[in-house]
Amino acid sequence: MTLDNKAEITADTDSGQGGSITLNLQDLLLFRRQSYISTTAGKVGAGGDGGAIAINLNSYNGFIVSPALENNDITANAFSGSGGTIEINAKGVIGLATLTRSELEQELGTTDPEKLNPQFLQTNDITAISQTNPHLNGIVSISSPDIDPSKGIVSLPTNATDPSQQITQNCGAGDEKIASQFTDVGRGGLPPKPDEFLSSDPVWEDIRLTANTTQPRSSSYTTTATSPQHKAVLIMPATGWVFNDQGDVTLVSYTPKSSASWLNSSTCAVKK
């Protein structure tokens, strides 16, 4: 069943007892745009108790549904008499909420009996109250299967693993004289927690050797990176030349021990 665009099912009375409404439906009762079901009594300020509303749907797949803030209501109110009864049997009620008299006063901001009407609210409400006497409120009963939505849900821990259980406390292999050492270098680019973003604080640093050094495994060596130092270079002028064993000429600025292969440019005679 669908009630749309101010549609209504009513058994209201201006005075005297409210009527009775019983709905037996299969799977859905849908409210849209200021529609309502009412058995309100004494609407003109006269006496009379609110009537009875019974709505029965399939307990396995039957729902009462209303979109939010469309002012759809189910009421069994009374002006000066006792509030009526509203009994709902369904799988669930979605979009409608039960309001007591005090809650209705708080939402409307008034205690004036003539203004205690849920139709003055934009919310979707279920009420069975006495508008003049707070001790004569009616009964609202909603029965649905005993289903706990949180049943079977496991709360996951914030930390996915316990780091203390992933590290051995001591090393059993190796020379006992050599002390073991463990260094924590961070998470390697992972966020602190699974649900957090990666921080931009860590700075990448290249810790590789600055020079490729090849040494036997058995030898000990130390590589020290030194900054280049600029030294003044003294340029000496050439004062002669020598012949090497290949017959090449090399300019020199000193006197060789063997003068056989050395010639001074100042003493060379030009061959004719």
Phi and psi at 181, nearest 5°, equal: -145, 135
Bridge partners of 125?
73, 97
> What is the CB neighbour count within 10 angstroms for residue 50?
34
- The confidence score (pLDDT) of residue 251 equals 75
What span, in angstroms and rounded, lies between the C-alpha atoms of 265 and 253? 12
What span, in angstroms and rounded, lies between the C-alpha atoms of 55 and 3? 14
From first CA to last CA, the distance across the chain in angstroms is 132
What span, in angstroms and rounded, lies between the C-alpha atoms of 129 and 104? 10
Per-residue pLDDT of the chain (272 residues; tens, 9 = 90+): 999 999 999 999 998 899 999 999 999 999 999 999 999 999 888 889 999 999 999 988 899 999 999 999 999 999 999 999 999 999 999 999 999 999 999 999 999 999 999 999 999 999 999 999 999 999 999 998 765 555 666 776 666 666 666 666 665 555 556 566 777 666 566 666 767 766 666 566 666 655 554 455 444 444 555 555 656 666 777 777 777 777 787 777 765 555 444 455 444 444 44
Beta strand 20-24 with 52-56: parallel, antiparallel or unpaired? parallel
